[in-house]
Amino acid sequence: MYLHDAMVFVLSQRQDRAATTSELSEEIARRELYARRKDGEAARAKQINARARQYPQLFELDSSGLVRLRSNSLTT
């Protein structure tokens, strides 16, 4: 599973479809949804932030680090 897929999975199961980058990092690691290929470590909050910015069609990111799943991203 790619990191952005793991992010969509976790956010889609939250009632408000939002979480901080730290919360996402912790939840993805807890569920063992993604590990970095380079070293097998969990994705850090900084990496979650970068991925959210890389996929603006899937995520909204505010200045406080809150990542929100876009409403149309569940249909793509």
Q: Is 10 helix (H, G, I), strand (E, B) or coil?
A: helix
Element (H, E) at 11: helix 3-12
Q: Amino acid letter at 64?
A: S
Planar angle of CA 58, 60, 66, nearest 5 degrees: 125
Amino acid at site 30: R
Q: Kindly report the pTM of this predicted structure.
A: 0.88
- pLDDT tens-digit profile of 8-59? 999 999 999 999 999 999 999 999 999 888 888 889 999 999 999 999 999 9
Q: Tell me which architecture the domain covering 3-74 has in CATH.
A: Orthogonal Bundle (1.10)
Domain regions of the chain by residue span: 3-74
